[in-house]
Amino acid sequence: MQRRVKNLLYLLLGVVLLSSCGNFEKVRKSSDVNYKLTKANEYFDKKDYAHAYELYKDLMPIMKSTRNFEALYYKYAYSLYYMKAYIDASYNFKNFTEYFPTSKDAEECEFMSAVCLYKYSPKYTLDQTNSIKAIEALQSYVNRFPNSKRTTEANQYILALHTKLENKEADAAKLYYNISQFKAAAVAYKSVMHNYPESANSDLYQFMVMKSMFKYAKVSIAEKQEERYANAISAFRELKDNYPQSKYLQEAEQLNTEANNNVKKIRDEHK
């Protein structure tokens, strides 16, 4: 009995879907432009963005010079956004601002063009070219509309994107360290510190500069060790002076003690 009921439900669902598809095709093939626009707006309001998009796309070239084109284009761009076609949506939001620079929606569409790029930004382990483009677009928006109600949100997105870029750079520095490329690791960690001076991880990066220099000195030829231990000791002083409360100080102090002892031993051997 339950199986019959389930089969009947599937059959009814199939009929509804086929009917829905058939109705949409009738709308799409209609030559009545106003009717198609009304149906497109109905689909949009019902959050059926795929069907709304298809109708708006058909209407775009027909309605380009009409008074309804602005509202149509606005919803067309949003249909793409809600379908998560972020690159196409970004392009069309930006185009909207160029077609209708005096529109009440122009500022919003410029913001949404940048937001789409933010949404398209990949996780930090992947190439961050799109993150950089998103930052540029969001910063351009903030510069143009510093008093906008959306500026706070735009700055939050910029911060999130900068964090991705920071994590990407920090991971590269960590990789150098893990494969024992200590000189490159020290340079890379210094670069992260320079590029992100306000980072919450600044003390970690300074510690890793010191630790990388210490390891680099340790594996160096005898003639270079004293100089390189001295660099590690100098990096330790920077850590201690700039981050006196750092949780990495205890381990750094142990390395610093060992570095100083090694320098003393080297000097004693050369007396």
Could you read off the pLDDT of 89-126 as tens digits, one per residue?
Answer: 999 999 999 999 999 999 999 999 999 999 999 999 99
Parent domain of 194 = 180-271
State how far the alpha carbon of 115 is from the alpha carbons of 48, 154, 164, 166, in Å: 22, 8, 16, 20
Q: CB-based contacts of 43: which residues, under 8 Å, 6+ apart? A: 49, 51, 52, 55
pLDDT for the residue numbered 29? 86
> Does a structural domain hold residue 117?
no
Question: pLDDT of 26-77, one tens digit each?
Answer: 988 888 889 999 999 999 999 999 999 999 999 999 999 899 999 999 999 9
* The model scores a pTM over 0.85: no
> Does a structural domain hold residue 86?
no
> Does a structural domain hold residue 201?
yes
Looking up residue 271, the CATH number of its domain turns out to be 1.25.40.10
Number of domains forming the structure of the chain = 1
> Does a structural domain hold residue 246?
yes
> Does a structural domain hold residue 262?
yes
Q: CB-based contacts of 142: which residues, under 8 Å, 6+ apart? A: 151, 154, 155, 158
> Does a structural domain hold residue 170?
no
State how far the alpha carbon of 158 is from the alpha carbons of 22, 118, 151, 263, in Å: 45, 9, 10, 45
> Does a structural domain hold residue 32?
no
Q: Are 255 and 211 in contact (CB under 8 A)?
A: yes
> Does a structural domain hold residue 49?
no
Q: How far apart are CA 253 and CA 133, in angstroms?
A: 42
Q: How far apart are CA 156 and CA 141, in angstroms?
A: 13
